[in-house]
Amino acid sequence: MPQPFQRRQFLAGGAAGAFLCALGGERTFPFSSAKEVAEADAAARAVKKPPPVAKDPVDTMSFPTPQPQPGGVAREYWVQARPLKWDPIPTARDEWMNMAIPRRRKFMALAYQLYSPGFAKPISAPTIPGPTLEAEVGDTLVVHFRNGDHHFDQAHTMHPHGVRYTPDYDGSYLASFTRAGGFIAPGDEFTYTWEARPDSVGVWPYHDHGPNGTISVARGLFGTVIVREKGAKKPDVEQVLVMHALTPQITFAAETFQCFNGRAFAGNTPTVRSKVGQDVAFHVYGGDGMFHTFHVHGHRWKNDAGADVDNPTLGPHEVITARWTEDNAGRWLYHCHVFSHQDAGMAGWYIAEP
Amino acid sequence: MPQPFQRRQFLAGGAAGAFLCALGGERTFPFSSAKEVAEADAAARAVKKPPPVAKDPVDTMSFPTPQPQPGGVAREYWVQARPLKWDPIPTARDEWMNMAIPRRRKFMALAYQLYSPGFAKPISAPTIPGPTLEAEVGDTLVVHFRNGDHHFDQAHTMHPHGVRYTPDYDGSYLASFTRAGGFIAPGDEFTYTWEARPDSVGVWPYHDHGPNGTISVARGLFGTVIVREKGAKKPDVEQVLVMHALTPQITFAAETFQCFNGRAFAGNTPTVRSKVGQDVAFHVYGGDGMFHTFHVHGHRWKNDAGADVDNPTLGPHEVITARWTEDNAGRWLYHCHVFSHQDAGMAGWYIAEP
Amino acid sequence: MPQPFQRRQFLAGGAAGAFLCALGGERTFPFSSAKEVAEADAAARAVKKPPPVAKDPVDTMSFPTPQPQPGGVAREYWVQARPLKWDPIPTARDEWMNMAIPRRRKFMALAYQLYSPGFAKPISAPTIPGPTLEAEVGDTLVVHFRNGDHHFDQAHTMHPHGVRYTPDYDGSYLASFTRAGGFIAPGDEFTYTWEARPDSVGVWPYHDHGPNGTISVARGLFGTVIVREKGAKKPDVEQVLVMHALTPQITFAAETFQCFNGRAFAGNTPTVRSKVGQDVAFHVYGGDGMFHTFHVHGHRWKNDAGADVDNPTLGPHEVITARWTEDNAGRWLYHCHVFSHQDAGMAGWYIAEP
Helices (H), chain C: 2-8, 34-46, 213-219, 248-251, 339-343
* Structural domain includes residue B261: yes
Residues of B in contact with C310 (CB under 8 A): 161-162, 204
* CATH label of the domain that carries residue C69: 2.60.40.420
Q: Is A353 on the interface with C (CB under 8 A)?
A: yes
Residues A270 and A223 in one domain: no
pLDDT in the model for residue A31 = 65
Answer whether residue A23 shows pLDDT above 50. Answer: no
DSSP letters spanning C232-271: PPPPSEEEEEEEEEE-HHHH--SSPEEEETTB-STTTS--
Q: Say whether residue C39 is in contact with chain A using an 8 A CB cutoff.
A: no
Looking at A20-29, B210-219, C63-72, C217-226, which range is the least confident one?
A20-29
Per-residue pLDDT at A223 exceeds 80: yes
CA A251 to CA A263: how far, in whole Å?
13
Q: What does B94-124 look like in DSSP terms, one character per residue?
A: ETTTTEE------EEEEEEEEE-GGG-SBSS
What is the secondary structure of B136-192 as a DSSP string?
A: ETT-EEEEEEEE---SS---B--EESSSB--GGGS----GGG--GGG-B-TT-EEEE
The reported pLDDT for the residue numbered B156 is 98
Number of domains observed in the structure of chain B: 2
What is the percent of chain A where pLDDT is above 90? 84
Among B170, B289, B318, the residue with its CB nearest the CB of C311 is: B318
Residue B41 CB coordination number (10 Å):
17
Res A24: pLDDT: 34
* A317/B337 Cβ within 8 A: yes
Residue C51, in any domain of the structure:
no
Cβ of residue A326 closer than 8 Å to a chain C Cβ: no
Query: Distance (Å) from the C-alpha of residue B9 to the closest C-alpha of chain A?
Result: 8
pLDDT, mean over chain A? 90
> Which segment of A13-22, A190-199, C136-145, C178-187 scores lowest on mean pLDDT?
A13-22
**Distance (Å, rounded) from C-alpha C94 to C-alpha A242?**
43
* Residues C163 and C275 occupy one common structural domain: yes
Q: Give C41→chain B minimum CA distance, Å.
A: 24
Query: Does B55 map to a domain?
Result: no
Q: Name the residue in chain B with its Cα closest to that of C245.
A: B17
What one-character DSSP code corresponds to residue B352?
E
For residue A104, tell me if it sits in a domain.
yes
A6 part of contact set with chain B, CB < 8 Å: no
DSSP-derived secondary structure for A41-66: HHHHHH--PPPP---SGGGG---PPP
Residues of chain A neighbouring C5 (CB-CB closer than 8 A): 5
Backbone angles phi and psi of C303, in degrees to 5: -90, -175
pLDDT at position A12: 28
Does residue B112 share a domain with residue B194? yes
Q: Which of A21-30, A126-135, A279-288, B88-97 has the lowest mean pLDDT?
A: A21-30
Give the amino acid at C204. W
Same domain, C133 and C246: yes
Q: Pick from B32, B166, B204: which is nearest to C2 by CB?
A: B32
pLDDT of residue A149: 98
Hey, of C58, C200, C204, which one would you mutate to test binding to chain A, going by the most A CBs within 10 A of its CB? C58
pLDDT in tens, B188-222: 999 999 999 999 999 999 999 999 999 999 999 99
Q: Are residues A290 and A195 in the same domain?
A: no
Non-local (6+) Cβ contacts of C218 within 8 A are: A339, C11, C12, C244, C245, C246, C247, C249, C250, C288
Residue A22: C-alpha distances to residues A170, C24, C123 (Å): 19, 45, 62
- For chain B, helix (H) and strand (E) counts, in that order, are 5, 22
Kindly state whether residue C197 falls inside one of the protein's structural domains: yes
3-state DSSP call for residue A7? helix
ipTM higher than the 0.85 cut: yes
Q: How far apart are CA B129 and CA B124, in angstroms?
A: 13
Question: What does the buried/exposed string (b/e) look like for C164-194 if buried means 16 or more CB atoms within 10 Å of the residue's CB?
Answer: bbbbbbbbbbbbbbbbbbbbbbbeeebebbb
Q: What angle do CA B343, B349, B350 make, to 5 degrees?
A: 140
- Model pLDDT, residue A52: 80
pLDDT at C322 > cutoff 50: yes
Q: Do both B10 and B126 map to the same domain?
A: no
Q: Which pLDDT band holds residue B255 (cuts at 50, 70, 90)?
A: confident
Whole-number pLDDT of residue A57: 96
pLDDT tens, position by position, B71-128: 999 999 999 999 999 999 999 999 999 999 887 789 999 999 999 999 999 999 999 9
At residue A293, does pLDDT exceed 70? yes
- Within 8 A of A316 by CB-CB distance, chain B residues are 293, 311, 337-339
Shared-domain flag, residues A152 and A280: no
- What is the DSSP pairing of strand B313-314 with strand B292-293? antiparallel
Residue B19 vs residue A341, higher pLDDT:
A341
Looking at residues C91-109, what average pLDDT do you find?
91
> Residue B26 above 70 pLDDT?
no
Distance in angstroms (rounded) separating the CA atoms of residues C332 and C310? 13
Of A243-257, A268-282, B158-172, C320-334, the least confident? A243-257
| C233 and C316 together in one domain | yes
Which residues 291-320 of C have a C-beta within 8 angstroms of B? 291, 293, 295, 297-298, 300, 303-313
Confidence of residue C31 (pLDDT cuts 50, 70, 90): low
* Same domain membership, residue B42 and residue B191: no
Q: Which of C5, C306, C338 is the closest to B5 by Cβ?
A: C5
User: pTM of this prediction?
Assistant: 0.93
Amino acid at C324: W
Shared domain for B326 and B241, answered yes or no, is yes
If contacts are CB pairs under 8 Å, which of residues 237-296 in chain C contact chain A? Answer: 288-289, 291
Which is higher by pLDDT, C205 or C50?
C205
Residue B179: give the domain boundaries: 68-353
A99: which chain C residues are within 8 Å (Cβ-Cβ)?
20, 22-26, 28, 175
Q: Which pLDDT belongs to residue A254?
A: 86
Q: How far does C330 lie from chain B, in Å, by closest CA?
A: 5
Indicate whether B107 and B23 sit together in one domain: no
For residue A255, is pLDDT > 90?
Answer: no
- Does B61 reside within a domain? no
**Is the pLDDT score of C51 beyond 80?**
yes
B56 domain-assigned = no
Q: Check CB contact under 8 Å for A94 and C161.
A: no
Q: Are A328 and C164 a contacting pair, CB within 8 Å?
A: yes
Regarding whether B281 and B180 lie in a shared domain, the answer is yes
CB contact under 8 A, A2 and C8: yes
Tell me whether C15 touches chain A (CB under 8 Å).
yes
- Search chain B and give the residue with CA nearest C353: B58
Give domain status of residue A54, yes or no: no
